[in-house]
């Protein structure tokens, strides 16, 4: 049963988020992470950045009130996939963040940096150096973009401030 008095928080991501939710359930831990909020988990293995907006548009149609906070941990599965150059992916991410701001105007958006990996999807070279460099550049570009929108960043999390 959900408590309607608690602020709603959405956590959206790929397998990392799905595994975190499963881990919490398997060990009988608090699905709300001990926070005074109601977390809605939306993790799915293999989810790419391109899957974000169809998911959010669908959720927008199904709900009346915006979540107070939306945490997005996506992008890693999109790096190295066919047709996703760094520039194309960066443009898509920025455009989607702008659209999220319009779809959910009352929501505080938190963007978690794309995490490093030993092996990347679509990696053809012996090392993933080029894809790792893409990851770092995307994170830097998103930090700058979110900063321009009035946000600030802690270690692996960018936070968009709503006034």
CA distance to 108, 135, 158, per residue, from 121 (Å): 31, 13, 24
What is the full per-residue pLDDT of the chain (163 aa) written as tens digits?
455 689 999 999 999 999 999 999 999 899 999 999 999 999 999 999 999 999 999 999 999 899 999 999 999 999 988 888 899 999 999 999 999 999 999 998 888 899 988 888 777 777 788 899 999 999 999 888 888 876 555 445 555 555 4
Q: What CATH number matches the domain at 8-160, 3.30.460.40, 3.40.50.1110, 1.10.760.10, 3.40.50.620?
A: 3.40.50.1110
Instruction: Tell me what pLDDT residue 77 has.
Output: 94
Q: Tell me the helices (H) and strands (E) count for the chain, helix number first.
A: 4, 6
Provide CB contacts within 8 A for 36, sequence distance 6+.
6, 7
Please give the Cα distance from 143 to 139 (Å, whole number).
6
Q: What is the DSSP letter of 5?
A: T
Residue 52 burial (10 A CB sphere; 0-12, 13-18, 19+): buried
């Amino acid at each position: 049963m959900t408590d309607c008095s608690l602020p709603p928080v959405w956590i959206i991501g790929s397998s990392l988020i799905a595994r975190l939710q499963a881990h919490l359930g398997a060990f009988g831990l608090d699905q709300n992470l001990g926070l005074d909020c109601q977390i809605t988990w939306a993790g799915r293995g293999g989810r790419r950045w391109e899957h974000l907006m169809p998911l959010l548009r669908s959720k927008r149609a199904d709900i009346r009130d915006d979540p107070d906070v939306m945490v997005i941990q996506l992008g890693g599965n999109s790096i190295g996939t066919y047709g996703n150059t760094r520039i194309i992916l960066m443009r898509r991410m920025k455009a989607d963040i702008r659209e999220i701001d319009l779809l959910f105007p009352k929501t505080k958006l938190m963007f978690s940096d794309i995490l490093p990996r030993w092996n990347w999807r679509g990696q053809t070279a012996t090392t993933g150096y080029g894809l790792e460099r893409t990851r770092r550049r995307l994170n830097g570009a998103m930090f700058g973009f979110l900063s321009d929108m009035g946000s600030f960043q802690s270690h692996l999390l960018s936070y968009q401030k709503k006034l």
